[in-house]
Amino acid sequence: MAQPLPAVELPIGEAAGRWLASDVAALRSQPPDPMSAMDGYALRQVDMPGPWDIVGESAAGHPFQGTVGPRQAVRIATGAVVPGGADMVAVQEDCRAEGSRLFFDGDPPEPLGRHIRPRGLDFAQGDIIARAGERLTPARLALAITAGHGRLSVHEKASVAVIEGGDELRPAGEDLPPGAIPASNGAMLGALFTDLGCEIESHGPVPDRRDALRAAFEQAKNAHMIVTSGGASVGDHDLVLPVLEEMGAKIDFWRVAIKPGKPILVARLGRQLVIGLPGNPVSSFVTAHLFAQPIARALMGDRSPLPAMQPAFCLGDLPATGKRTEFLRAAFTDLGVMPLALQDSAALTPLAEADALILRPAETAEVKTGDVVRVIPLAPRNRN
Ligand SMILES: Nc1nc2c(c(=O)[nH]1)N[C@H]1C(S)=C(S)[C@@H](COP(=O)(O)OP(=O)(O)OC[C@H]3O[C@@H](n4cnc5c(N)ncnc54)[C@H](O)[C@@H]3O)O[C@H]1N2
Ligand code: MOO
């Protein structure tokens, strides 16, 4: 449904965290030459156990110019080019230099103790080191730079307009008249999309009036994606669906058999994607993970945008499920995953403790402690 945004070519540092728009081939081999993995002496295995004449030095960035002949050794540093003729490095701790003479004092090296990284060990020129649709993570950033790239083609960032609505909501820190509560979903959702590298604009809190909600949609008309919070259910003040219909939006779906998050709505308003999240804070958070973040990822070029799942031992008993698939807030321990005690879709205290969601399909039998369950790890940012 969400077609990736166009590609842009950027200096590689600015491309960090974005999704690659094309495969990345190595422009060079790494290591470019055989390199020493240790500080010591480059020499010939046949000459073991010495002694040798020290004939020069190979330092990182300053290769030895000659070759290593019989009973010759070259002082070598970690990361320096191994000179021609040498086929092992004797580590410094095993050697004793007296003037220009070198003696071997250590145990005979093991078969793999040559301490030389061959040319192209990591990758060879022409190898595909990263694929279109993969994220330029910190490790891939280092890999692409090492592979010789200074600029990369990545997808544009998605701009996300967050609209939170409800008459009871007041901005953070403001005085609260009776019945009012602080508006927290907008900030939470903004932070979740900032984590993905999206550009965020925030609207609201918007009162429960059609004209006010419509005005907010109109203000958000330049964003790629609009994420609303609240007003998604069936009450008289739940205006997201009626206002979208009034504005001529195409409703893709409304309401899914999940808990929390049943009133989730996905629509298209012209070229914009609208994701209507429920107002209950936990429902908002969970549906942001299950629907809104994957859509934002797909827009930004992620080829596998859906949340990753993994098995884990369940460290608590869980009752059989009903008609809705459940996503229980849980915390990882070193033995498995612990369902948190309070599973209310309005309760933020357990949400702030959670670093995983346990997926419990609809109409499945109870789970006993020690059973294996499917788990969606939450983004690292939700962890300590
Ligand atoms: N008769 C029915 N009632 C409800 C149904 C239903 O199917 N039939 N569904 C329930 C479910 S499930 C959910 S989830 C909620 C969500 O409904 P809405 O999206 O319309 O949410 P609101 O009514 O606007 O708010 C619910 C709750 O969350 C608080 N809230 C809202 N926005 C924020 C915000 N930005 N920051 C903090 N807290 C917020 C709001 O004050 C309410 O307490 O509907 C059930 N009802
Ligand atoms: O689906 Mo609602 O999110 O259960 O509270």
Specify the number of domains making up the chain: 4
Confirm whether 295 is domain-assigned: no
pLDDT of residue 381: 57
Together in a domain, 57 and 173 = no
Question: Where does a domain end: 65, 95, 117?
Answer: 117
Check if the beta carbon of residue 188 is closer than 8 Å to that of residue 206.
Answer: no
How many angstroms is it from 59 CA to the middle of ligand 2? Answer: 64
Q: How far is CA 253 from CA 245, 270, 274, 292, in A?
A: 12, 16, 11, 13
ipTM of the shown complex: 0.97
Confirm whether 71 is domain-assigned: yes
pTM: 0.92
Q: Is 259 in the pocket of ligand 1 (CB under 6 A)?
A: no
Q: Is 345 in the pocket of ligand 1 (CB under 6 A)?
A: yes
Q: Is 169 in the pocket of ligand 1 (CB under 6 A)?
A: yes
Together in a domain, 202 and 103 = no
Q: Is 262 in the pocket of ligand 1 (CB under 6 A)?
A: yes
Confirm whether 294 is domain-assigned: no
Nearest 10 degrees: Cα torsion 189, 233, 260, 266: -60
> Residue 107 — pLDDT band, cuts 50, 70, 90?
confident
Together in a domain, 136 and 20 = yes
pLDDT of residue 4: 96
Together in a domain, 269 and 136 = no
Together in a domain, 52 and 95 = yes
pLDDT of residue 111: 62
Write the pLDDT tens digit of every residue in 282-328.
999 999 999 999 999 999 999 999 999 999 999 999 999 999 999 99
Together in a domain, 319 and 345 = yes
What is the percentage of the chain residues whose pLDDT exceeds 90?
Answer: 93
Mean pLDDT for all residues in the chain:
95
- Strands 372-377 and 356-360, how do they pair? antiparallel
Give the position of tokens 């993905």.
Answer: 196
Which residues have CB under 6 Å of ligand 2? 259-262, 278, 280, 283, 345
* Ordered alpha helix ranges (H), the chain: 12-15, 138-146, 185-195, 210-219, 240-246, 281-287, 293-299, 348-353
Confirm whether 297 is domain-assigned: no
| Residue of 167, 239, 280 to mutate, ligand 1, most atoms within 8 A of C-beta | 280
| Residue of 233, 274, 351 to mutate, ligand 1, most atoms within 8 A of C-beta | 233
Residue 141 has pLDDT above 80, yes or no: yes
Together in a domain, 194 and 244 = yes
Of 377, 8, 9, 18, the residue nearest 196 (C-alpha):
18
| Residue of 255, 280, 289, 325 to mutate, ligand 2, most atoms within 8 A of C-beta | 280
How many angstroms is it from 236 CA to the middle of ligand 1? Answer: 12
Sign of CA dihedral 344, 350, 356, 358: negative
Together in a domain, 133 and 257 = no
Domain coverage including residue 11? 7-27+124-155
Together in a domain, 320 and 227 = no
How many angstroms is it from 166 CA to the middle of ligand 1? Answer: 9
Together in a domain, 175 and 219 = yes
Nearest 10 degrees: Cα torsion 37, 80, 68, 34: 60
Confirm whether 301 is domain-assigned: no
Residue 361: CATH number of its domain = 2.40.340.10
Q: Which atom, in ligand 1's list, is nearest to the CA of 231?
A: 20
Tokens coding 72: 């010759």
Q: DSSP label at 370?
A: T
Together in a domain, 195 and 60 = no
Which neighbouring-strand residues pair with 56? 74
Write the pLDDT tens digit of every residue in 109-123.
776 668 999 999 999
Of 181, 177, 383, 179, the residue nearest 281 (C-alpha):
181
Dist. CA 359–CA 350, nearest whole Å? 16
